[in-house]
Amino acid sequence: MASNTPALQDDEIFALMKFRRQVADVLKPEHDDYYLLRWLRARSWNPEAAEKMLRESMKFRERWNADEIDKWPTPQILIDLAPHGVSGFDREGSPIIIIPFAGFDIWGLLHTVSRADIVRMTLQALERYMKLAYEQSQKMNNNNCRQFVVIFDMENFNLKQYVWRPASEVVISLIKMYEANYPEILKCCYIINAPKVFAFAYNMVKKFLGEYTIDKIKIYKSDQNKWLPAILDRCPASQIPKYFGGSQTDDDGNPKCEKKLCWGGKVPKSMYTSKEDSFNNNLTFTETEIKKGGKLKLVFDCEDSGCFLKWEFRTFDHDIKFGIKCVNKKTQENEIEVPLKRVASHQVDESGFITCQPGCTYSVLFDNSYSYFKTKKIRYSVLMTTPLSEIEQTASAITVTEEAAEATED
């Protein structure tokens, strides 16, 4: 391990050795002790809990192809208008990530790209930052570089966007994704220029954050005399944009350092994708109604490796519960691939995909059992495809009746 790694107590060394043995079958050469310690610290040094967390994260990474996410062609609108960037490095060499959050037009982006695209963009950014941090640690021989300093600028923060359910769902899902798959990469987070309404928003998301994350978050109102000294105590002024009180500018003197940082902005309404145009014309869609108290279940068998289960749907006027379960046909082991929950598919189109394993049966459930009074109209395309083919091939889905779905759900 590199220098500046805190000495471990005897019980911590024992927990590390036990944890390494338990997960040896999934470790890669680059998974050193520092990597393992992240998961142990996130689970209070409990090797069993850390193992569960790591194995679930490995499945998540496989599902989203995280190891090759850098090859994903990011939609240009996200490159241009998703606010974030690295301004420099703190005194130990850790990357300083700045996010001008008010420039995150979540309403506009969700009317232009899919939720899955925003997840992939976030994954892509995290993986790039992780790679940069690792390179820094090798250059400086200091593992402390493998954590980030993050500055969220909440100036002009607009709560109205996040009261919109699809927006709040995306933000919460990103927070949960981060907590479950990137433990202990945060060194310190400064939330600056926070208006009064931010306290309401923070209380909403705080319950999805682990204590090890909450303890590293410092929140400041719009008083630069309070937050700037705290930031400069950790970060050289030369690594902080002049706009935020540092001395860094672009070579043309721009104090916002817009050549390094994307500040985001409003998505032009001309780029919005209408409901009618948002569905891929090459896909086959089915329209049906799910009666009040009823369910619709689609079943797919995966026989070959390299298959994906993809979905895209919307409901009319009302939301619906959606989830996916996997059953290993040999062992009968059950796995929840997509937790069953209500989605606001009447407000924004719902789409996504998962990687499938051969020898497994996948059950896709649209659940309206919670609604006693409203029949839901839905338009959907759910298919299994193989990446080796240029043409999407629809697997033969068995549509189970509402009554049968209720009886076979378990």
pLDDT at 356: 85
Domain region containing 95: 74-271
**Residue 354 — very low, low, confident or very high, per pLDDT cuts 50/70/90?**
confident
Domain end point (choices 64, 84, 105) = 64
Regarding whether 261 and 363 lie in a shared domain, the answer is: no
Instruction: Say whether pLDDT at 397 is over 90.
Output: no
pLDDT for residue 22 is more than 50: yes
- Do 364 and 317 share a domain, yes or no? yes
Res 6: pLDDT: 59
For the segment 162-167, the average pLDDT, to the nearest whole number, is 81
- 401, part of any domain: no
Residue 390 has pLDDT above 70, yes or no: no
User: What is residue 79's predicted lDDT score, i.e. its pLDDT?
Assistant: 96
* Cα 67 from chain centroid (whole Å): 15
The CATH code of the domain that includes 18 is 1.10.8.20
Report pTM.
Answer: 0.73
Can you tell me the distance from the alpha carbon of 48 to that of 114, in angstroms, rounded to the nearest whole number? 36
pLDDT of amino acid 283:
64
- 228 and 329 both lie in a single domain: no
Q: What is the mean pLDDT of the chain?
A: 88
Q: Is residue 48 part of a domain?
A: yes
> In terms of domains, do 248 and 287 share one?
no
Same domain flag for 55 and 86 = no
Picking from 290-299, 315-324, 348-357, 366-375, which range would have the lowest pLDDT averaged per residue? 348-357
Contact 167, 118 (CB under 8 A): no
- With bands split at pLDDT 50, 70 and 90, how would you rate the model's confidence at 331? very high
Distances (CA, A) of 2 to 5, 7, 32, 359: 7, 12, 10, 43
> Which tokens sit at 370?
């919670």
The reply to whether 20 and 151 lie within a common domain is no
Task: Check residue 290 and report its DSSP letter.
Answer: E
Considering the domain boundaries, does residue 389 fall inside one?
Answer: no
184 and 91 within one domain: yes
Q: Which amino acid is at 301?
A: D
CATH number at residue 196: 3.40.525.10
Residue 5: inside a domain: no
- Residue 183 forms part of a structural domain: yes
Return d(Cα 5, Cα 334) in angstroms, integer. Answer: 40
70-92: per-residue pLDDT in tens? 999 999 999 999 999 999 999 99
Contact 334, 392 (CB under 8 A): no
Residues 309, 339, single domain; the answer is yes
Both tokens assigned to 266: 């409003």
Tell me, yes or no, whether 288 and 265 share the same domain. no
Q: Poorest-confidence range of 52-61, 155-164, 287-296? A: 155-164
Average pLDDT, integer, range 236-249: 98
Per-residue pLDDT, 44 = 94
Q: Give CA–CA dist 170/179, Å, rounded.
A: 14
Is 360 found in the same domain as 256? no
Residue 265 and residue 170 share a domain: yes
Which pLDDT belongs to residue 48? 97
Overall domain count for the chain: 3
Give me the pLDDT at residue 403, please: 38
For residue 267, give Cα distances in angstroms to 170, 283, 333: 17, 27, 45
Q: Give the separation between CA 350 and CA 355, rounded to whole angstroms.
A: 17
In a shared domain, residues 134 and 39? no
Statement: residue 163 has pLDDT above 80: no
Residue 153 lies in a domain: yes
Q: Residue 340 sits in a domain of what CATH number?
A: 2.60.120.680
